[in-house]
Structure 1
Amino acid sequence: MIEVLTDMPAGVTGIRASGRISGEDFRAFKPTMEKLGQSGDIRIVEIIAPDYQGFGPGGLSADLKMGFGTLLAHHSAFKRIAVVSDKEWVHHTMHALGWMVPGELAVFGLDELEQAKQWAAE
């Protein structure tokens, strides 16, 4: 499931990924992503929940399609992305692949959510 969070600072979009994410979840999230791309200033706090299980049917292909589409169309709009998770593999993956993400990227633990929000808003 992809949930858009409302308790974020102005100008920051909060996203929570939990359970197994399907292609249908990405299709439901697409209008939010399109609106975000039109903002001209993309700041995201993405929480990978403890119960996150990866991709379900069609999830990976939908993620790649939406992610690369937004990245290519709005590359210079990406300012800050805070990834929040206690999953060790998330921290390792972000540190290994973070160079591919436009703008600034920082990784926080779940107990650092408030710091992640403030960092993304700066």
Structure 2
Amino acid sequence: MIKILEGFPGNVVAVSANGKLAREDYENVLIPAVEAALVGRDKIRVYYELGPDFMSMEPGAAWEDLKLGISHYLQWEGIAVVTDHEWIRHAIDVFRFLIHGRVRTYPMSRVSEARDWIVSDLVRHTIRLS
């Protein structure tokens, strides 16, 4: 299940994910949020919180995630992923070169730092592979 997080500026799509993500989570929540955030903007940022209750993604969700990433490839300014799941952090490190914007991963203990970074001007000035 994907839930939109409140309290972020309009150029940041902030979500938390729990349980097992399905294609419908993307179709009904994440994709519409991304499309809305892109109205009138060239680039947006994404903040993902994948807490301890996050389990996995169904194949349909993984496909929607890939399509979303490719269809807006040049529009990702920054992505912050907050999780204690090492396999997610490792996967992001492996595929980081495929992402146009800046990407940072954070453990759950540094959630405040991740939130501060994704809304700051530092996103624009962070070395790409940080």
Residue 120, structure 1, aligned to residue 122, structure 2: no
Q: Which runs of 5+ in 2 are unaligned?
A: 121-130
8 A contact 1:10–1:121 mirrored in 2: no
Using CA pairs under 8 Å that are at least 6 residues apart, name the structure with larger relative contact order, 1 or 2. Answer: 1
How far, CA to CA, are the matches of 2:59 and 2:87 in structure 1? Answer: 22
Structure holding more strand per residue: 2
| Residue identity opposite 2:34 in structure 1 | M
In 2, distance between residues paired with 1:57 and 1:80? 25
Q: What is the match of residue 58 of structure 2?
A: 56
What is residue 32 of structure 1 aligned with on the other side?
33
SS in structure 1 of the partner of residue 104 of structure 2: strand
State percent identity of aligned pairs: 27
Point out 4+ residue stretches in structure 1 off by more than 3 angstroms: none
Alignment of 1:1-122 (within 5 A): 1-9=1-9, 11-29=11-29, 30-38=31-39, 39-56=41-58, 58-71=60-73, 75=74, 77-122=75-120
State the TM-score, normalized to the length of structure 1.
Answer: 0.84
> What is the TM-score when the length of structure 2 is the normalising length?
0.80
Note the alpha carbon deviations across 1:10-30, whole angstroms, 9 max, x for none.
Answer: 632211111111111111022
